[in-house]
Amino acid sequence: MTGMWFGLAAIALAGAAALLYLDHIQRRRTGRVREHWAKAHGDSYKASDETLPATWQRATLAKQDYLPAIDIVSGIRRGQEFVMFDLEENATVIAVRRESGSILDLDLRLKTMAPPRDADLELLGAIGERLLFSTDLEVARRLCDQRMVGFVEALPDWLQVMWTEGEWTLGSIPVTTASKDWDRAVEAVARLSGILHALPPIDEPEGLEEFAHDPGHPFPRFVAGDVDTDDPTVAFRRVTASAAPVSEPSQSHPEQGPPPRP
């Protein structure tokens, strides 16, 4: 009886070892395919990065910073920087960087998926087969025009969730997605990133500088001051309205009389 249990344990151990070996072979094969795909597009490839997933905290990457990124591709799509990587066996993530961040974050996911864990994301409504969550419902509502609706309705089901974090637009697809669909996935995230350029930026526009000229008013009169010329902001001192002109004529000129009569 004891021998039978030892036999079963040995069979189970051998099966587990075989599965690990097959998984290792499959991962190496996927890595080679990803590397060849990157080179074909003129992109860069990196085998792994321990810290990359910690760059983001929402959706697929919520509380996943302990998992390394593997088979990483980085490059340019639609004039925007992008990175694509696998989160071990969990998902393939695509991230596209916009020119500037936004005060608004979005989460767009299939209705069949669980809602996002983030407390600041509220449900706005449905677009086709997907639900849209946002940190600012009013701004997100204005964003949902016909272009946005048409884009969302055309998304493939395997592009399960798309979301934003600051200056990044991200998407998540199953790690088993065929390599022929990688281009389509990156293109979709880059297109959404382009649409989101209309979002309010994080930084407010800077006001006029202290010494900037208001075109609606004349320039004030200045005279040179006894100051340190290394500081251009105080190289002149303002002259009050009662002060003399910068240079006085040596003699006064009589006022011009009326023109002579013919």
Summarize pLDDT for 60-93 with one digit per residue, the tens.
999 876 889 999 999 998 899 999 999 988 899 9
Tokens found for residue 191: 């297109």
pLDDT tens digits, 238-251: 434 444 444 444 45
* Contact predicate 133/115, CB 8 Å: yes
Question: Is the per-residue pLDDT at 256 higher than 60?
Answer: no
Distances in Å between the Cα of 58 and the Cα atoms of 11, 43, 64, 126, 258 are 42, 26, 9, 20, 82
pLDDT tens digit string along 117-173? Answer: 999 999 999 999 999 999 999 999 999 999 999 999 999 999 999 999 999 999 999
- Positive/negative CA dihedral, 176, 180, 113, 121: positive
Q: Within 13 A of 123's CA, how many CA atoms are on the CB side?
A: 12
DSSP for residue 128: T
Report which of 155, 161, 165, 123 is spatially closest to residue 141, judged by C-alpha positions. 123
- Cα-Cα-Cα-Cα torsion 171, 155, 107, 55, nearest 10 degrees, comes to 10
pLDDT computed for residue 101 by the predictor: 84
Average of per-residue pLDDT values in the chain: 78
